[in-house]
Structure 1
Amino acid sequence: MTTVASILLVEDDPAIREGLGMALRRQGHTVRTAETGEEGVELSRSGDTDLVVLDVMLPGIDGFEVCRRLRAESAVAIIMVTARDDDIDIVSGLEAGADDYVVKPVLPRVLDARIKAVLRRRTTEPPRVDRFGALSIDRQAMTVTKHDEPIALTPTEMRLLLELTAAPGQVLSRQQLLEKVWEHDYLGDSRLVDNGIQRLRAKVEDDSAVPRYIQTVRGFGYRFGPV
């Protein structure tokens, strides 16, 4: 079954914008487009948007700044589009709050698969509230509090926290987390996991330099606890 979503495509190249827009509409998505970063920010505020496909190189404010602005005011899913398959754009995009990325030239079927994977991660978990020290996780409401204060997590950060806390003390490899959280069922990019962990620690830990909750197991991956 086709996953139908309301997508905002922010891309300044007319040919790419038109081509990707047509391809996504053929998959059943509703697509709005923007040519500049400023226009993208405004459009995201003017209507319901499930996911933003955001090019890095834009006139005016670039994709990184757009991502930061969107993330500061909403939990909308964001997929960055970069022309370079290296750490510079990818890490910067993930640190700005993107959920995933694709590299140009963008294959429509790959982009559609990434969109569906990101949106599937929003599936509601069974009702359950878990408490770990100062952290409380409501798995039905998809909310987290620390010291009784709400924490704003992106959908990917929330899914990552849910996976880590599903079996406290169990070590999950980077590849396992890629498959469970990002739904990359191939040998994926561990930078997604490492940057996701870094962002999550900054929000849930009292001191991310000395993590109490999300622990690194060298040579294996990550585990949650003990707390």
Structure 2
Amino acid sequence: MSAYRILLAEDEPAIADTLLYALQREGWQVRHCTLARDAEAALAAEPPQLLILDIGLPDDSGLALLGRLRRYSELPVMLLTARADEVDRVLGLELGADDYVVKPFSPREVVARVRAILKRSQPAAAAANPGGLFCHEAAARRIRFAGQALALTPSEYRVLATLLARPGQVFSRSQLLDALGEAAEDSFERTIDSHIKSLRAKLRQVRADLDPIVTHRGFGYALEQG
């Protein structure tokens, strides 16, 4: 995949413009947000291959956003920070950041670091499951599709993991609802339809030509790895 998608969460216009120019020159697709809440919405709507995240966003700490992200996704993250304090850098890495850059920085350095992160993450993920499109890393509660880590909610993760456990088997809505565990108490069977719709949208963002979740009308859903 050459046209990598990158989400940039940075509120300083001069820095954002410089990075947008440098990253887009590489042929990468870059979406820009200035607020943490907008970045989280963008992550849910269209998971990128990389998040470049400023620690000091106006509405929330970038570190807090990273902490929430790591509850359900191992999406590669590069931190941008104006703080040279070692505590901030260490905390960011402990929360799961893949790299960090301290402002002021060279756009060429950022591009080089981004290229390295993308090179590390994509081939390794593809190699983890050479015979299929999905790679389920259960210990990390992470699912990759066509080499890309999916940004899934806890409920979406449980539903997809259940389907992945038995490819080709048709699961009823009731069975998939049971897979949600505690989340099922306040749910109804049609909630599964909503999760399936969201999962399909996220899978299409990675491979628009595939629809591995198959609907069996009157019965339920199954996953076909192809």
Question: How far apart, in 2, do the equivalents of 1:95 and 1:88 lie?
Answer: 10
- Give the secondary structure class of the aligned counterpart of 2:52: strand
Map 1:1-227; keep pairs closer than 5 Å: 4-122=3-121, 123-124=123-124, 140=130, 143-145=136-138, 150-152=139-141
- Aligned-CA RMSD value: 2.6
Question: How far apart, in 1, do the equivalents of 2:2 and 2:104 lie?
Answer: 23
Q: Which has the higher contact order (CA 8 A, sep 6+)?
A: 2
Question: Where do 5+ consecutive residues of structure 2 fail to align?
Answer: 145-226
**Equivalent residues, number:** 140
CA shift, 1:109, in A, is 0.9
- Give the secondary structure class of the aligned counterpart of 1:79: strand
Identity, % of aligned pairs?
36
Residues 135-188 of structure 1: CA deviation (Å, up to 9, x unaligned): xxx66565545xxxx333699xxxxxxxxxxxxxxxxxxxxxxxxxxxxxxxxx
Q: Which moved more, 1:63-72 or 1:83-92?
A: 83-92
CA shift, 1:39, in A, is 1.0
Question: How far apart, in 2, do the equivalents of 1:117 and 1:60 lie?
Answer: 30
Check the 8 A contact 1:6/1:51 in 2, yes or no.
yes
Question: How far apart, in 1, do the equivalents of 2:27 and 2:126 lie?
Answer: 29
Question: How far apart, in 1, do the equivalents of 2:125 and 2:51 lie?
Answer: 24
CA shift, 1:42, in A, is 0.9
Question: Where do 5+ consecutive residues of structure 1 fail to align?
Answer: 128-137, 156-227
- Give the secondary structure class of the aligned counterpart of 1:44: helix
> Which structure's residues are more often helix, by fraction?
2
Question: How far apart, in 1, do the equivalents of 2:80 and 2:39 lie?
Answer: 14
TM-score normalized by the length of structure 1: 0.55
CA shift, 1:89, in A, is 1.4
Residues 17-74 of structure 1: CA deviation (Å, up to 9, x unaligned): 1121111111111010001111111111111311010001111111001111222222
